[in-house]
Structure 1
Amino acid sequence: MPSTAEELDRKTFFYNMLVPVMNKSSYKNHKHCSSNGLNVGMYLLFIKPEIKTPSGLQARPVLTSYYKSEQFKNRPFNKYNVITSPNDAILCEDSQQSMYCQLLCGLVQRSHVLRLGAIFASAFLRAVKFLENHFTELCADIRTGTVASWITDSGCRDSVLSILNGPNQELADEIEALFNAKSREGILKRVWPKTKYIEVIVTGSMAQYIPTLEFYSGGLPLVSVMYASSECFFGLNINPLCKPSDVSYTLLPNMAYFEFLPVDDKSHEETQLESHRIVDLVNVEIGRYYELIITTFAGQYRVGDILKVTGFHNKAPQFSFVERRNVVLSIDTDKTSEEDLMKAVTQAKLIHLQGLLLTEYTSYADTSSIPGHYVLFWELKPRYDNDPPMLDKKMMEDCCSEVEDCLDYVYRRCRNKDGSIGALEMRVVSLGTFDALMDFSISQGSSVNQYKTPRCVKSGGALQILDSRVIGKFFTKRVPQWEPLGLDS
């Protein structure tokens, strides 16, 4: 979608509000500034690949567009919003080199860091895992005052060397000792002892990462300040120190014209209303659910987000994010719908499943490891008898690969380019498992007549039933094919 200079100015204004909102919320406990008067954050920012349209315009993700803008690159110094990462490290197109250099800068400046974060919880945890795997090499660079030889981006090397400013044996030994301790629980608080909070989006599909964040954070508050999407930056959480489950956002009317389509409180399906019943921002009702519609200078968009009105700040309504419509699986920036999943599963079984029938399936977004990955539960039956299925390892791995190949561009980019999603896993369950799943759902109050197999399970009893009946596990052995879109080809 088109972006103008005025739009980038509004986004800059939006970002500049984040720290003041945080300071106002925590003023009674003192402002978040260090002894030198600076609010320093290790805030990890990354760019994505971009393409060129037939007319020669650059097309790229919204955050990449902002980070490459003059508004970001030439932003004025703001002592309340200093980040440890140099621009050259942020703008490095190799995500591994970028992550290494940003973490190295954050470690060197650990005594000044008051806040940690990234845009999404998934990206932040991916960086934490990277830090766990590379702390020895990072400490070696701090000890010698050099940068690893595999960092070949000249901008990254030069900017990081200027921050390293020579060897620091004492700092390297101290950090290395922290990572060599028996447990990594609370490691973030120990490595950055002055940190007051972790700022990441933990609403919607990102809520699945809260337990892992809490493990690493050592009790630091998880702060979700902003609500934004590719279409628009929507609003702020003006009570950022609330629990993640209590986050509500106040929409900023200078960012877009907001309208709301009423949806059913239970099914979140659009209610049968005339078009004139679309509701303006000032007319929403507390407790009701709405789908967000926005109008910007670029156009009008049904965002697909389902919001619930939770209250008012003065006369401005506040909303909690409920879900993204039609999305069943999400690990990072991927959004896989029930239809996408069905098409991929259908293609895999038609091409690779020989001698077996797929009787039922469901899925699960497993974030217990980093990076998270998709898990498919398949119930298979031999075509010609009722014996337990004979599972050919290569055939099942080919099914896994076919599913990944059929998923959308963003998923394949996350797997192939970004490494932000792990290999797809298939867990084959015994015959009768989905009957047991139905019995469980009915025991919890579902109607026999209206029961439908869920195409995604979240956790709890349903997941326990599925996992207790697994008879085989298989993983994709290769990453799916991906290459930048060539719109001019």
Structure 2
Amino acid sequence: MGIMQRAVNWIYALAADAFYKKFRNDTLRAGEVNRETLQEILKVNSETVYGQMYRFSEIHDTVKFKREVPLTAYADYEPYIDEIAAGKEKVLTADPVMYFGLSSGTTGKQKKIPMTAHSRKSVNMAMIFLQHGLLRQALKAARKGGKGLLLMNMLQSGSTPGGIPTGAATSGGAQSMRKVLPYFWTSPPEVLAIPEQDTANYLHLLFALTEQNLTYLMSPFSSGIVQLFGVLSQKGSQLAEDITQGHISRELYLDPEIKVFLEQKLKANPQRGSEIQKELERGMEGIASRLWPELSYVSCVCGGSFSIYEDKLKYFIGNTPINSAIYGATEALIGLAPEVNQPTYVIAPRAAYFEFIPLEDSELDEPSTFDLDQLQVGQAYEIVVTTWAGLYRYRLGDIIKVAGIYNTSPIVEFICRKGQLLNLTGEKTSEAAVQQALSMALKASNTAIEDYTTTLDLGTITGHYNFYLEISPDRRGFKEISTFRNTLESCLTQANPRYGAGVEGNRISPCEVKLVQHGTFQKVRQELIKRGASVTQVKIPRLIRDQYLISILEAHIEKHS
């Protein structure tokens, strides 16, 4: 580690510890801080079109705020966002909108979420310093610093008629951090601007493999790191050869100018190339710590629908600790992980003003809400946010469960997205129940899958659930569909007895299992990326209603199934 890198690590550690102390102090009086945050947001934005409409300047407590300002959804903001996109200012926020973060569109119409300099900075500071400050408390090995591999991109999909850039929310954040990227991550910034996912993953691996003292791997979601190791298993020898020779393979499609620029950053290293090849020959199980002996942790979201990738991730990384890092959405940062190997998050009191709707009331149009210091451990809630970037009492659509308390701020775990229910006759099988049932069935059958999704099939009198599964290539333990379907049916009943009662009462037909060809879900991802989803943050919807996406699945069903 060079002098400059050690200096950067030292400064970084000081800043991370300072952010952690401030955050810890905030959580000691989380409710007060959060209500103070609301007053600051209202004061700053009181002279906007929206602020004047709801008389923000006259609101001095949460009771009046909740009484005077209605709960909202994205549709309520579309006219205002169209005005901002055309160039009008001070519509939702006093600060200019610097960027529109695009949602993935996996659960409906793609949204354009406004981002200001203030909102972007707060998220960036949380990503760079606060998250690491918490991690340094939870994991001593993380205190040594060093460089990591970051799976992120800086792609902008376009701009609005008024000239405001658009793209994935993290892309805008990465763009604003461009100058500091080389001090923290192994990939040159140019790699983060490559649109082809397979090409970008190859190059991320190439530069990470040259860094023998790599200390962490970081991706928004666990699926991204699993895909990265998939590239390593397929292209490992080619990568080792590139490092040996100090060049980039001719088989990789890459703009000639970018290739020349990136090759200037590579140096031939036959010894490292040989080490990599030897570890590849030993197999992929636990390969991460063998390639990078200084690896301290892997940072990615593993909870909720991403838990399906956990076994495969651990196959590659062994016992390396997993830090679930940050829980957030395009609309707002929500919380940060206080512990490793736990997909739970402390609500960040200054990130936004938070309200929570009890799950049993989430179908109501104007339900009562609770502040973050009024929640009950063990209870589930829908999240509502008022943000620095112009969303007020916005129903985020995330359902969380309170797992504990950190000082006075709740620790939450993500359960599912609202509306992600398999519901034919009022049985309400949640995404969490589907996940539990599928995991139980896979374990009982000694079967591993690459990915899955579900649909509701109303083509019969009673209707049924369809499960589309992409079985892992080795097909270990999988014998025949009918046997697995029976196991899954039993597990669904265990996870949701109301489902079993519906089947027994002939109100629901038994589920169907459809095996799809290897690579099918990658085709679904590519379609979602075409629609604007981030290359590194694209998520497979666990319930698909989009007919074109269903047609992709149906076109790739294995013939013998």
TM-score by length of 2: 0.59
Is contact 2:147-2:186 (8 Å) kept? yes
Aligned with residue 160 of structure 2, among 50, 53, 56:
53
For structure 1, list consecutive stretches of 5 or more residues without a partner in the other structure.
350-356, 373-426, 454-462
Whole-angstrom CA distance in 1 between matches of 2:248 and 2:356: 51
Aligned with residue 321 of structure 2, among 221, 224, 227:
221
Percent identity between the two aligned chains = 22
Is contact 1:43-1:85 (8 Å) kept? yes
Whole-angstrom CA distance in 2 between matches of 1:42 and 1:477: 25
Question: CA 1:173–1:286 in structure 2 vs 1: closer, same or farther (change >3 Å)?
Answer: same
- Equivalence map 1:296-311=2 (5 Å): 296=387, 297-300=389-392, 301-311=394-404
The alpha carbon displacement at 1:335 in A equals: 11
- Equivalence map 1:245-394=2 (5 Å): 247-264=343-360, 270=362, 275=367, 277-296=368-387, 297-300=389-392, 301-327=394-420, 341-342=455-456, 360-364=463-467, 366=469, 369=472
- Amino acid aligned to 1:100: Y
Whole-angstrom CA distance in 2 between matches of 1:476 and 1:134: 17
Is contact 2:156-2:165 (8 Å) kept? no
The alpha carbon displacement at 1:484 in A equals: 4.6
In structure 1, the residue matched to 2:299 is 199
Give aligned pairs, total.
Answer: 375
In structure 2, the residue matched to 1:446 is 497
- Amino acid aligned to 1:446: P
Is contact 1:108-1:142 (8 Å) kept? yes
Whole-angstrom CA distance in 2 between matches of 1:218 and 1:168: 27
- Amino acid aligned to 1:270: S
Whole-angstrom CA distance in 1 between matches of 2:328 and 2:374: 22
In structure 2, the residue matched to 1:172 is 273
- Amino acid aligned to 2:135: M
The alpha carbon displacement at 1:248 in A equals: 2.2
Question: CA 1:116–1:188 in structure 2 vs 1: closer, same or farther (change >3 Å)?
Answer: same
In structure 2, the residue matched to 1:134 is 235
Aligned with residue 72 of structure 1, among 177, 182, 185:
177
Question: What secondary structure, in the 3-state scheme, does the structure 2 residue paired with 1:32 have?
Answer: helix
The alpha carbon displacement at 1:366 in A equals: 4.0
User: Could you list the per-position Cα deviations for residues 154-197 of structure 1 after superposition, in whole angstroms to 9, with x for gaps in the alignment?
Assistant: 564245324322x111111110111122x321111111111111
Aligned with residue 3 of structure 1, among 101, 107, 115:
115
Whole-angstrom CA distance in 1 between matches of 2:281 and 2:324: 31
Residue 19 (str. 1) matches residue 70 (str. 2): no
Is contact 2:182-2:189 (8 Å) kept? no
Question: What secondary structure, in the 3-state scheme, does the structure 2 residue paired with 1:163 have?
Answer: coil
Whole-angstrom CA distance in 2 between matches of 1:89 and 1:229: 24
Whole-angstrom CA distance in 2 between matches of 1:439 and 1:485: 37
Whole-angstrom CA distance in 2 between matches of 1:31 and 1:362: 44
User: Could you list the per-position Cα deviations for residues 278-323 of structure 1 after superposition, in whole angstroms to 9, with x for gaps in the alignment?
Assistant: 1112222222211001111221321111111222222222212222
Question: What secondary structure, in the 3-state scheme, does the structure 1 residue paired with 2:465 have?
Answer: strand
- Equivalence map 1:399-414=2 (5 Å): none
Question: What secondary structure, in the 3-state scheme, does the structure 2 residue paired with 1:451 have?
Answer: helix
Is contact 1:258-1:295 (8 Å) kept? yes
Question: What secondary structure, in the 3-state scheme, does the structure 1 residue paired with 2:399 have?
Answer: strand
For structure 2, list consecutive stretches of 5 or more residues without a partner in the other structure.
1-112, 422-430, 436-450, 505-509, 533-561
In structure 2, the residue matched to 1:153 is 255
- Amino acid aligned to 1:224: S
- Amino acid aligned to 1:172: G
Question: CA 1:448–1:186 in structure 2 vs 1: closer, same or farther (change >3 Å)?
Answer: closer
Residue 212 (str. 1) matches residue 334 (str. 2): no
Whole-angstrom CA distance in 1 between matches of 2:257 and 2:418: 41
Is contact 1:189-1:217 (8 Å) kept? yes
TM-score by length of 1: 0.67
User: Could you list the per-position Cα deviations for residues 20-60 of structure 1 after superposition, in whole angstroms to 9, with x for gaps in the alignment?
Assistant: 22112223xx5532xxxx42112222355614334443321
Whole-angstrom CA distance in 2 between matches of 1:41 and 1:19: 13
User: Could you list the per-position Cα deviations for residues 176-231 of structure 1 after superposition, in whole angstroms to 9, with x for gaps in the alignment?
Assistant: 111122x3211111111111111111011111111111111121112212101111
Question: CA 1:446–1:100 in structure 2 vs 1: closer, same or farther (change >3 Å)?
Answer: closer
Whole-angstrom CA distance in 1 between matches of 2:266 and 2:401: 47
Question: CA 1:190–1:146 in structure 2 vs 1: closer, same or farther (change >3 Å)?
Answer: same
The alpha carbon displacement at 1:449 in A equals: 9.0
Report which of the two has the higher share of helix.
2
Quick check: 227-236 or 321-330, which moved more? 321-330
Question: CA 1:252–1:157 in structure 2 vs 1: closer, same or farther (change >3 Å)?
Answer: same
- Equivalence map 1:73-88=2 (5 Å): 73-75=178-180, 82-88=184-190
Question: What secondary structure, in the 3-state scheme, does the structure 2 residue paired with 1:93 have?
Answer: coil
- Equivalence map 1:35-50=2 (5 Å): 38-47=145-154, 50=157
Is contact 2:159-2:166 (8 Å) kept? yes
In structure 2, the residue matched to 1:89 is 191
In structure 1, the residue matched to 2:555 is none
Is contact 1:188-1:217 (8 Å) kept? yes
- Equivalence map 1:98-109=2 (5 Å): 98-109=200-211
Question: CA 1:157–1:293 in structure 2 vs 1: closer, same or farther (change >3 Å)?
Answer: same
Whole-angstrom CA distance in 1 between matches of 2:320 and 2:383: 32
Question: CA 1:31–1:231 in structure 2 vs 1: closer, same or farther (change >3 Å)?
Answer: closer
Whole-angstrom CA distance in 2 between matches of 1:292 and 1:219: 33
Question: CA 1:18–1:335 in structure 2 vs 1: closer, same or farther (change >3 Å)?
Answer: farther
Question: CA 1:476–1:207 in structure 2 vs 1: closer, same or farther (change >3 Å)?
Answer: closer
Is contact 2:157-2:167 (8 Å) kept? yes
- Amino acid aligned to 1:11: V
Whole-angstrom CA distance in 1 between matches of 2:247 and 2:488: 56
User: Could you list the per-position Cα deviations for residues 467-487 of structure 1 after superposition, in whole angstroms to 9, with x for gaps in the alignment?
Assistant: 7xx8xx56599957958569x
